[in-house]
Amino acid sequence: MIFPTLNFLLFYLVVWPTAWGLALLRQHLLHKLAIIAASYFFYAFWNWRLAFLLFGSVLLNYSAGRLIDRWRGTSAGRWTVRLAVAANLLLLGFFKYYGWFIESLDDLLRSLSMERELPYLEIVLPIGISFFTFQGISYIVDLHRRDLDRSRPLVDVMFFISFFPHLVAGPIVRAASFLPQLETPPNPNRVFVGLGVMLVIWGVLKKAIVANYLAVQLVDPVFLAPSNYGAIDLLFAVYGYAIQIYCDFSAYSDIAIGVAALLGYRFQRNFNQPYRAESLQDFWRRWHMSLSSWLRDYLYIPLGGNRYGEFRTYRNLLLTMVLGGIWHGAAWKFVLWGALHGGVLALERFVYKGHDPAARIGRPVWIRAVSIVVIFHFVCLCWIFFRAEDLSRAWELLGGLANWSQPVELLSLFLLALVTFGMAIQFTPQDTPQRLDRLYHRLPTWGVGVLCGIVLLLVEAISGDGAAPFIYFQF
């Protein structure tokens, strides 16, 4: 079930009144059970068998949580944490990386003339496994670190891991920030309706118009056969992909946050105008914030962070980003993408002696502007490897950027306008959501309804029939 579809609308039109009805009747347990049932229905819509895997993940983390509580402070407790984290990673590794591992091993053995019969398996990649596994790990580690005071009942752990808005493509919600919200029913007098409605509409608009058109009319054809196009088409396909992936992924996050907000639950922000970043560190504070903070807190810091000297810090940065790259998928292109980001983060740290240049006050405007352009282009370079079918096509595209003799075939004024729009929204004032919220409170409720209806109709008229899956579904 994809967010901006009639299927999801009808699903939500049943779930929303049921959940709030039960909350208003003070049936807190039934409210949670209704949302859990809805979440499993949402997940089983793709493949009902995989719902059992999701439940298995919940059971694993719930049981480990109980044991951590019981054996807190003992070596048995610490071993439970290690084993539970390892089991989560094993689950993720088997479904996501087994095929890649066997293929890479096969290639290696062939290159050494040592061919063997390897156990290839047909494994279906369960949608959202990277997200719900990381949330499971968050529950275990938060409990171990006492960021979460005690283990939670099975219903709460199920709700936390399976809650449908974040289930298949994030944001990655932290146990310590989300589980306390399940202690009491959502407050019907304190719902961020303006925020929720605004995020849903904004997300639908970014996904259905900007991301879809850029994908279909520019990015997909160019990345499929880069050698068929000249430098201008290639260059704008790269810019187009930067905007497409932002508008696609941030749209999913916006809709997820909005849908949860209308149900009375709070997620944290996942994007903050990433292409206005003035350094790569700044970029990672603005892009997929729930993943970057997860990697920082559950990987970079446990590896030692910046506490053991310069060399160890660079190593930790590189390792964290490479593993972050592999998290996106089982392919060498993601390893390279992560290594490029990690390498430049380490370089920035070396050059600026550990200070973030973007955080300096009073930098001249021209330096800030040049920094933004440089960082944006570095991020675009990395996106080429991220998006290309394989590394050879990425090199093909990079080589084609020198071919200025071929005429423009795909780039149109409309696509140029979409790219420009995608860049312009990176530079809107930081308090735009608050301004829109004030506007929402000035309008009559029926006016907001009419406005939402008109915007959704316009989106439907512009986007045409059908909705492409979100990019991050594959991760």
Partner 1 sequence: MGSAARTDTDSSLGTHDLETGMRASRVGTVVPIMAIAVALLFVFNSAGLVRWTQNLPPSTFNTALSDAANAWHDAMTAAGPARLFEVVKDAIEVDLR
* Contacts of partner 1 in 1-30 (CB under 8 A): 6-7, 9, 13, 16, 20, 24
Helix (H, G, I), strand (E, B) or coil at 196: helix
| Buried b or exposed e, range 319-343, using 16+ CB within 10 angstroms | bbbbbbbbbbbbbebbbbbbbbbbb
Report the residue number, 99 or 433, with the smaller CB distance to partner 1.
433
Q: How far is the CB of 473 from partner 1 (least distance, A)?
A: 19
Rounded CA-CA distance 358/340 in Å is 20
Report the residue number, 6 or 121, with the smaller CB distance to partner 1.
6
Which of 140, 148, 195, 235 is in the footprint of partner 1 by CB under 8 A? 195
Q: How far is the CB of 111 from partner 1 (least distance, A)?
A: 34
Q: Which two tokens stand for residue 460?
A: 């439907």
Please give the C-alpha separations between residue 275 and each of 242, 279, 393, in angstroms, as whole numbers: 9, 10, 25
Report the residue number, 226 or 422, with the smaller CB distance to partner 1.
422
Report the residue number, 62 or 294, with the smaller CB distance to partner 1.
294
Report the residue number, 389 or 460, with the smaller CB distance to partner 1.
460
Which of 431, 432, 439, 469 is in the footprint of partner 1 by CB under 8 A? 431
Q: Which of 144, 328, 341, 377 is catalytic?
A: 328
Q: Which two tokens stand for residue 199?
A: 């995020």
Q: How far is the CB of 20 from partner 1 (least distance, A)?
A: 6
Interface with partner 1 (CB under 8 A), residue total: 80
The piece of 127-135, 157-165, 281-289, 374-382 that touches partner 1 (CB under 8 A) is: 281-289
The piece of 43-51, 55-63, 275-283, 390-398 that touches partner 1 (CB under 8 A) is: 275-283
Residue length of the chain: 475
Residue 380 makes CB contacts below 8 A (sequence gap 6+) with 238, 239, 241, 242
Locus of tokens 């490897």:
385
Residues 341-380, mask of contacts with partner 1 (x by CB under 8 A)? ----x--xx--x-xxx--x---------------------
Q: Which two tokens stand for residue 352?
A: 């600026």
DSSP structure string for 419-469: HHHHHHTTSS-TTHHHHHHHHHHHS-HHHHHHHHHHHHHHHHHHH-S--PP
Report the residue number, 157 or 346, with the smaller CB distance to partner 1.
346
Report the residue number, 153 or 433, with the smaller CB distance to partner 1.
433
8-state DSSP, 359: G
Q: Do 35 and 66 touch, CB atoms closer than 8 A?
A: no
Q: In the range 246-265, which residues lie near partner 1 by CB under 8 A?
A: 257, 262, 264
Decide if residue 450 touches partner 1 (CB under 8 A).
yes
Q: Do 162 and 132 touch, CB atoms closer than 8 A?
A: yes
Decide if residue 448 touches partner 1 (CB under 8 A).
yes
Q: How far is the CB of 320 from partner 1 (least distance, A)?
A: 6
Q: In the range 198-217, which residues lie near partner 1 by CB under 8 A?
A: 199, 213
Q: How far is the CB of 458 from partner 1 (least distance, A)?
A: 8
| Active-site residue flag, 166 | no
Of 344, 338, 341, residue with least CA distance to 357: 344
Instruction: Label residue 149 left, alpha or beta by phi (over 0 means left) and psi (-120 to 50 means alpha).
Output: alpha
> Where in the sequence numbering do the catalytic residues fall?
328
